[in-house]
Amino acid sequence: MLLVFTRILTDAQGKNTVLRHELIPARPGVSRFVILGCFMPSLKASIFGGVVAAIAISSSAWATPIETFSGSASFSDTSPLANNLIYFTGSFANSPFSFAGGVGSTYTNLLTVTGLDLNLINWTDSDQVAINVAFTAPNAAGATIGGTGTLIDVFKFRGFYWQDTGTITWNGPAIVDFADGSELSLLMDNITLNGINGIATGSGNLTMTVQKVAEVPEPLTLSLFGMGAAGLFAARRRKKAVQA
């Protein structure tokens, strides 16, 4: 992106003679426009300068928005243990968590799950499971993604042990809308479980993707807007004084 830099030069008699426009490259992290403040001896030039400032500010009044998201994530088996003598436990690598990003940016949090099968027979059993995400920033909000966990036991005569395999499949994605206008989508990977003798483990990522971010004006933008407005006000007062 290029920035338009306007410079007003005056001659020896104090009259505005040249409006010089320069193109300069924009740099990442720097405001997208530059306003050069100066006192102009000509009333018309003062009015022109104020209008240019107002137009420049209105066309670039918003910074590239970045939002910070913070909260905690947890896993739970929502079926009672007495249901079929299997149970799932799990934990996230980062809880609490915090990340910052703009639209399109992603954050992943690894979930590790262990399946316990106390019913060691050649059978397939399942439980209902869920992950719960509670946000504290940018606003208090929450989301739940449900799923189904399955374990299969197969007895291996060669080696004389039980082989345990299973999966956890998830619903989703879930959408979280925040009060400030930001939005996240949450998607959980399906998990494959493997183990022996009634214990199987596996892992997958919870991916959070920024869909929307509330736009907030830069402090520099607000100050420049005030300067432009002050210039217009001063030009108007000067015009009235000349007419009087």
180-196 pLDDT, tens digit per residue, is 999 999 999 999 999 99
Distance CA 90, CA 189 (A): 14
What's the confidence (pLDDT) of residue 185? 97
For 24, the domain range is 2-63+217-243
User: Model pTM greater than 0.85?
Assistant: no
- On whether both 55 and 123 belong to a single domain, the answer is no
- On whether both 55 and 75 belong to a single domain, the answer is no
- On whether both 116 and 224 belong to a single domain, the answer is no
- On whether both 50 and 92 belong to a single domain, the answer is no
Decide if pLDDT at 179 tops 90: yes
- On whether both 159 and 182 belong to a single domain, the answer is yes
Place of tokens 């990003």: 101
Q: Does 54 or 152 have the greater pLDDT score?
A: 152
Model pLDDT for residues 80-97, shown as the tens digit of each residue: 866 778 999 999 999 999
- On whether both 88 and 191 belong to a single domain, the answer is yes
Prior bond to 219 cis, omega within 30? no
- On whether both 205 and 122 belong to a single domain, the answer is yes
Q: How confident is the model at residue 120 (pLDDT cuts 50, 70, 90)?
A: confident
Contact 50, 110 (CB under 8 A): no
- On whether both 203 and 116 belong to a single domain, the answer is yes
Model pLDDT for residues 2-40, shown as the tens digit of each residue: 444 445 555 555 554 444 544 455 444 444 444 444 444
- On whether both 79 and 194 belong to a single domain, the answer is yes
Give the 3-state secondary structure of residue 233: helix
- On whether both 191 and 157 belong to a single domain, the answer is yes
| Cα separation values, 140 from 67, 68, 71, 83, 134, Å | 14, 13, 9, 34, 7
- On whether both 53 and 130 belong to a single domain, the answer is no
- On whether both 39 and 59 belong to a single domain, the answer is yes
Q: Measuring CA to CA, which residue among 60, 29, 62, 216 is closest to residue 138?
A: 216
Task: Count how many domains the chain has.
Answer: 2
